[in-house]
Structure 1
Amino acid sequence: AALDAGTLLASRYEVQAFLGEGTFGKVAKCADTVTNTKVAIKIIKDDPFFTEQALEEVEHKLFIYQN
């Protein structure tokens, strides 16, 4: 799927710009239409390996944030 400006992700995040692409997927600068804040959204490739790696990354960052 294209990350064109104006695309709505998860019925909440409006894509403003494409920031980059890496091994796991793409990153887009978005506006959160609920909180009116700017966020970066990482869009992971549809592959079980990449999905598992992304979940591990999130769990690791949450652990660091909480401790």
Structure 2
Amino acid sequence: MKETIGDVRRYKTDFEARADGGAMNPFTVMRHCLYAADSAKFGSMLTDRARATFDEWQAAEVREHE
């Protein structure tokens, strides 16, 4: 989780600022951290929509920092 918490915190900030976003509780943050560390192993911890939204955000972050 140490490796992924920074990214997930940035995602949380972006997500909660969206008009269609909601609040992410600490358990949701933890699930996103685990998913970010190993999506194959922890993919079932997130809903399909949460996975898709997070994956899209990660892809945009990668493109932005290239």
Shorter-chain TM-score bucket reads 0.3 to 0.5
Which has the higher Rg, Structure 1 or Structure 2? 1
The structure showing larger relative contact order (alpha-carbon pairs under 8 Å, at least 6 residues apart) is 2
Give the TM-score, by structure 2 length. Answer: 0.39
